[in-house]
Amino acid sequence: MSFAKLTGRNKTGLCDVCGQNIEMQELEQWNRQGHVFVWHPLPHRAPCGAHCIGGDYDEGETDVHIPYRGVCPRCGAQAIRMIHILEHVDAGERAVFYQYTADYDSAQPFLFELEKLKDGSWVASGSWGLHRSFSLEEAVPAAAVYFPWIVDSTTD
């Protein structure tokens, strides 16, 4: 859990998602890393005209530049792309590996989700960022720390 409050300070900076020079606000946060100050983009439009996810958007909004797991309806940009699937057939589980296409966090270029088979469909049951994994060959063993069966699995 984390807590944050606005400091009242603003500055101009680059959005990590759309790359535009935008207004940002400073937040004071208390989280797992301790007490930190971070700059958060204010709501803005991406160059394509859609609401940029980097600056938040209203729930239910569909005109969004790089929605999580989606495609921008105006320019086709994506935040992440699926790159690998490992299945644990006997347990009805699979690990799905994604790679970020936007520079959200250079220390976490990969993400993996554990999905479980429920009523014939795959349902996500958790996701983890794979810090310091800069290739799929590094990401798979890093994910095996959470679920050892990944090491012995094969790709479908």
Q: What is the DSSP string of 28-68?
A: EEEETTEEEEEEEEPS-B-TTSSEEGGG---TT---EES-T
Token look-up 């996810």 returns 53
The residues with which 52 forms a beta bridge, in sequence order, are 65
Secondary structure class of 106 (helix, strand, coil): coil
Q: Residues 61-68: what's their mean pLDDT?
A: 84
pLDDT the model gives residue 151: 77
Domain boundaries, the chain: 3-65, 80-155
Q: Residues 49-72: what's their mean pLDDT?
A: 85
CB neighbours (10 Å) of residue 27? 16
Structural contact between residues 144 and 151, judged by C-beta atoms closer than 8 angstroms: yes
Under the banding of pLDDT at 50, 70 and 90, the label for residue 93 is very high
pLDDT tens figures, 103-123: 555 556 788 899 999 999 999
